[in-house]
């Protein structure tokens, strides 16, 4: 009996999600606020089916951390996201959340003031569209739940915030083992980038280029890879460290590495 149940569970995961398996609703605690610090959005993800559904809960509306849970816009123009882009270990249990059959999970999103450049757009009505893409695993088909966006008016304070403010950093890791891993990884990354730059020049119309970079300037893509390969001064100062200033590593959360999009000058943080 246990074996049959396990096989059925694995088959369900392999098949992925179907339309109607999940529903998403949003509610703003206040539809009008004086400051971006007062923005609070409650998201509820419901499972109307008769089976538990286990999904990736990172980089979507289930994620209350500083990742991109919303696309924010004003007057039809997107507001720049300045939060965290993270790489995850999808074998870690903390990357997933199980929504019980017939039940729901609520997530409160606060701290959005630090994640988007509201200042450039000025005061007024902002639209928050949820990232409602769900997968049962990294290679499983994606289900995008159609969810109406909500509007929040910000009347006064839209001054730009930051997760981390610029400061001097030590481009070293106090742990010798970690430091060597970082150095080895950087060497390998440079070799891969150099190979990619060479391939772009020698095979400008390759299937790989068109798959990943189609529609972009070949010169621009080549230049970016060449900068990484050569570690040119024009690439700026990029610190790769082993500290966790945003406090999202550790435990079973599955974060491998992350970079703060706008405030870190390209610094990359590696997790254990």
Domain boundaries, the chain: 2-157, 176-270
Confidence of residue 2 (pLDDT cuts 50, 70, 90): very low
Contact 62, 219 (CB under 8 A): no
Distance separating alpha carbons of residues 244 and 246, to the nearest angstrom: 6
pLDDT for residue 87: 81
Q: How far apart are the first and last CA of the chain?
A: 39
Residue 212 vs residue 165, higher pLDDT = 212
45, 50, 55, 58 alpha-carbon torsion, rounded to 10°: 10
Q: What are phi and psi of 153, to 5 degrees?
A: -90, 130
Determine the CATH number of domain 176-270: 3.40.390.10
Mean pLDDT lowest among 9-18, 65-74, 111-120: 9-18
Percent of the chain predicted with pLDDT > 70:
79
Query: Per-residue pLDDT tens for 243-272?
Result: 776 777 766 667 777 766 655 444 555 554
Determine the CATH number of domain 2-157: 2.60.40.2970
Query: Per-residue pLDDT tens for 169-224?
Result: 334 577 888 788 777 777 787 788 888 888 888 888 888 888 888 778 888 888 87
Confidence of residue 119 (pLDDT cuts 50, 70, 90): very high
pTM of the predicted protein model: 0.64
Confidence of residue 9 (pLDDT cuts 50, 70, 90): very low
Distance separating alpha carbons of residues 69 and 78, to the nearest angstrom: 14
């Amino acid at each position: 009996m246990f074996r049959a149940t396990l096989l059925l569970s694995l088959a369900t995961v392999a098949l992925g999600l179907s339309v109607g398996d999940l529903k998403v609703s949003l509610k703003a605690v206040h539809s009008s606020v004086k400051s971006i610090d007062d923005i609070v959005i409650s998201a509820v993800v419901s499972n109307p089916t008769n089976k538990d559904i286990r999904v990736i809960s990172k980089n979507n509306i289930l994620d209350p951390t500083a990742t991109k849970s919303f696309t924010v816009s004003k007057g039809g123009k997107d507001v720049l996201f300045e939060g965290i882009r993270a790489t995850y270990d999808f074998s870690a249990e903390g990357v997933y959340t199980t929504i019980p059959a017939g039940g729901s999970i609520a997530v409160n999103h606060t701290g959005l003031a630090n994640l988007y450049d509201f200042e450039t757009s000025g005061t007024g009505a902002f639209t928050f569209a949820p990232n409602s893409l769900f997968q049962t695993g990294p290679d499983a088909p994606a289900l995008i739940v159609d969810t109406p966006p909500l509007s929040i008016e910000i009347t006064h304070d839209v001054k730009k915030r930051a997760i981390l403010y610029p400061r001097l950093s030590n481009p070293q890791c106090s742990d010798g083992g970690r430091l060597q891993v970082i150095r080895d990884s950087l060497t390998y990354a440079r070799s891969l980038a150099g190979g990619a730059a060479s391939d772009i020049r020698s095979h400008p119309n390759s299937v790989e280029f068109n798959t990943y970079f189609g529609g972009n300037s070949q010169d621009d893509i080549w230049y970016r890879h060449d900068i990484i390969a050569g570690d040119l001064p024009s690439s700026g100062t990029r610190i790769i460290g082993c500290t966790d200033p945003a406090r999202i590593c550790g435990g079973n959360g599955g974060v491998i590495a992350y970079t703060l999009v706008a405030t870190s000058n390209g610094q990359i943080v590696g997790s254990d």
